[in-house]
Structure formats: C-alpha cells, structure tokens
Structure 1
C-alpha cells in the first residue's frame, strides 16, 4: 500500500507568471539557465586553450539551433509520428491548428535523443564552416551537455511530466497536477545522475594529461544514455504505443548511443596533446 501521507506533494503550476499573451514557464527558465551556464563553462575552456570568444559565440548559435530542431524533430518522428505526418507545419512551428484556428502552443514535445543528434550535426556544420577540429569541439561540448541535461530534467519535474511509476518509498512524490498516486521522482533521479556525470567529465578534462580524441564524448554517451536506459524501467511510458513493448522508445533509442560510446572509449588511437595546458595555438 502506498504511503500517501508521508509522500511529498508537488503542486507547482508550470508557469512562473503570465502577463497578457506572455508567460514564463519553469521549463523555459531551466532551459535558458542550462545554456547560460554551459556558455560560461565553455568560455573558460576556450580561453584556457587559446580559442576566441567570437568562435564560441558562433558555436553557441549552431548548438542552440541544432538542439531545438533536433529535439523537436526527434519527438515528432520517434513518439508522435502518426499525428505529425499529417501536420507537417506543426512539426516545425510552435503552433496547433484546430478547425482552421491557429493557436501558439510553444514546443511542448522535445526528445533528448533527437537533441543529441541535432547537436552532433550542428557541430559538424560549425566545424566545416570554421575549419575547427570536430573531436576537439564535441569532447568539450559533452561536458556541458551533461549539465544541461540536469536542468532539462529539473524543468520536467516542475512541469509534472515524464513521471515515475507508483512507489511507496519515503521520497515518493505525488504530482497533484497528474493524480494522487505517490511516484518515483524519476526526473530528479536523472537530474542528479547527470550532475554527477558532469562532475566526472569536467574532472577528467581538468586532470587529464593525454586524452585521445572522442574519449570524453564516449564517456558521455555510455553514462548518460546508460543511465537513461535503466531509469526508464521506473518511468511511465510517454506514449500508449509503448505499453506493448519490452523496451520502450527511450530505451531502444539509447542502445545505439551506448554502443557508439563503448566504441569511442575502447578504440585504439593516438592521444592528443595535453588538455590541461594554459594556452595552445589558435586554429580559428
């Protein structure tokens, strides 16, 4: 029997405030904080390794667009394809059309696997445009991507979405906006895990004397998507079609990322020069 009285009751409205036609949601705030802190950390890395802030500014634009488009398309293709294949305009624009009436809804469906692919593609395009080494950039992006994931899952917690399965643990949470059932705070499990992964990756970067290309990316893929795979066992499925599946969509999409991660970590390659030096040649 669920220990309802001892559970944490979470009844926070998703919006912080709403004035006229504008509203600010906790999820949006978490998303912005993720990019801000990622930028600050990446700036310190760029300065340490002799790269310019101008180069980082260009990278930030590419990554932002890649994240949003990739996450959006990932959700539409992986989770709600049956709907969006008949509503292609809604797949790209943050709108919903009902009986000829258009309403602004924002991007209410974003998939982390699509976001990861979007970042990789955006980074490839950025590196081709600026003639910057792809592995150098993606390894450092992996560090802050883990931290960003923690903020995104915190935003999901505020939204009372991506909830966990019923639980009688003392830290169970009743998401009042959903139902009155004590559940695993699965979003926080992932958020805490991502923070720990970020600390591990940042420590590895700071202390590493010789790190082969894509090693940090490999660690990121194994740890982040490995964690995602196992946490899915205590999460409610996001779509009804997943109920008949042995592994849900989030787990199936995580497996290829983990496999690629193991390949990047254990492949044989020559190490790069030290990454903890104070300054290197600028290759802008």
Structure 2
C-alpha cells in the first residue's frame, strides 16, 4: 500500500524566543492582504459596492474583527462549548488555535452590517464584493491546516494518502488540500467568472448567494472524506457538524440567488 509520509513541517514559522509567529497567523495575514487587493481591483472595474479608498481602509478592520471574534466564538459554541464551563478564559486565547469558518461568516455578517449602517452602504453590495475574494483566505487557511497536520481525512488506500503525525499511522485523505483546492482555487475561479456576468451582478445579494451555495456544496462533499471531530463524531450517526452547519448556508445562499433585489 502506497502512502506519503507527512513532511516534517514546524508549525512555527519564526521563533523569536518569547514571541512565536505561526504559519497559521501568516496564512491569515496573507489571505487578508491578497483578498483586499482583489476586492479593490474588482471594485475599480465593476463598481460593485461603491467603496472609496477610505472605505477600504475601514472595512479591513471590520473584516479582521469579524473573522477573529466570530471564528473563535463559533469554534467554542459549535465545537468546544465545554470551555465556557471548564476554562472560560481559554475562549479568548486564540493563539492556542481553533477557529470556525461558519463562526467567521457570522462574525463578518455582523461587522459588515455595522460598517454598512455606520457609513451608509448597501449591506448586500458589500457582502457581494467580499464574497468574490473570500476564497483566497479559505485557500491559505486550509494550507495552514495541512501544515499543522490537523483536520485530516479518513483512512484511505489511494496512492496520495498521507500518514499524519499523532495518528494511527494509516494513510489518510489529505482533506485539507482537497478543501484548499475546492474552497480556494475552484471557488475563486467561479466567483471571478460570476462577477463578470451582468445579469447576476445587477441584483443585490446574488453574488453572495453563489458563494454560499458553492461553498456549502464543496464543504458537504469533502466532509465525506474528512475525519469527524473525535469529541463530536456524527450527528445522529448520519452527518458531521460541519455538514449540518453548511445546510443553513446553502438554504440562505439559494434564497439570496433566487430573490429579485435589483441593484440600484
């Protein structure tokens, strides 16, 4: 049986003694920088959200806050609710790892709504613009998951199976790379094609709907190859928590795509 031994990658990229910079943190920074650049280029060309350069300086702060607060709170609420009782302050120790994508989405929705109200922008127009660049952050985040040898897949006999450290030494699907390709590269390609279609672009929220639909589908499918969280397992012995959280996103995305909210 062929297998690939996981490369010896130190999750800490730079160690300065008292301060350590992890690859995961670098992935977030790079994803936000590149994502912001893509949003600026798309906004300049298509005028999706009618944002100024000053708006971009502000919105990045709102996005970062939404990702960090929402992602961490989502991880605790959805995956580790015991922390609230056993060690409440662990909730705030984001450097210990643990960020939920679904929580991050909720966090961004809240902070971008606040941004839109404060600066008098159309909320769904802003989310449409963000949706176009979101796959960039997803790509780097999943690569960081692979570097950390976390969120790996189920046992497999495929030739590209990887033996991850700290496991039972059976080859497993590198599901992090599957997600990096589907949620990152493939979804970004879809979004860049969709944003060029005027019939979709003219309706507020449709681009956001496309993002939610395809992300949910990709996540639900790839979860079939991913090892469920050991402390959670399957819900009703049928679906994983990640799949169950993606279903409401799929429904919301379908609603946003089908509704007729003309772009003024």
Normalised to the residue count of structure 1, the TM-score between the two structures is 0.85
Q: Which residue is equivalent to 1:15?
A: 12
Deviation at 1:21, TM superposition (A): 1.0
Which residue does 1:264 correspond to in 2? 256
Give the 5 Å matches for 1:119-138. 119-138=108-127
Deviation at 1:214, TM superposition (A): 0.7
1:85 and 1:208 mapped to 2: Cα distance?
50
Counterpart for residue 47 of structure 1: 44
Aligned counterpart in structure 1 of residue 131 of structure 2, from 126, 142, 151:
142
Q: Work out the CA distance in 2 between the residues paired with 1:85 and 1:43.
A: 43
Note the C-alpha offset of 1:179: 4.5
More strand by share: 1
The answer (yes or no) to whether the contact 2:13–2:22 under 8 Å persists in 1 is: yes
Distance in 1 (CA, whole Å) between partners of 2:65 and 2:96 is: 13
Match for residue 242 of structure 2?
A: 250
Partner of 1:206: 196
User: 1:207: how far off?
Assistant: 4.0
The runs of 5 or more residues in structure 2 that have no matched partner are none
Q: Highest CA radius of gyration, 1 or 2?
A: 1
Distance 2:165 2:88 in 1: 34
- Structure with bigger helix share is 2
RMSD: 1.8
CA distance in 1 between partners of 2:85 and 2:33 (Å): 34
Q: State whether residues 160 and 178 of structure 1, in contact with CA within 8 Å, keep that contact through their aligned partners in structure 2.
A: no
Pick from 30, 34, 38: which aligns with 1:33?
Answer: 30
Maintained 8 Å contact 2:154/2:226: yes
| Residues 122-160 of structure 1: CA deviation (Å, up to 9, x unaligned) | 110000010011111000101111221111011100000
Alignment partners' CA distance in 1, 2:61 and 2:38: 16
* Runs (5+) with no aligned partner, structure 1: 95-105, 274-284
- Which of the pair has the greater relative contact order for Cα pairs under 8 Å at 6+ separation? 1
- Structure 1 distance, partners of 2:233, 2:158, is 26
Cα contact 1:162–1:235 (8 A) shared by 2 = yes
Residue 179 to residue 32, structure 1, CA distance change in 2 (3 Å) = farther
Larger displacement relative to structure 2 (64-73 or 174-183): 174-183
In the alignment, is residue 169 of structure 1 matched against residue 161 of structure 2? Answer: no
TM-score (norm 2): 0.91
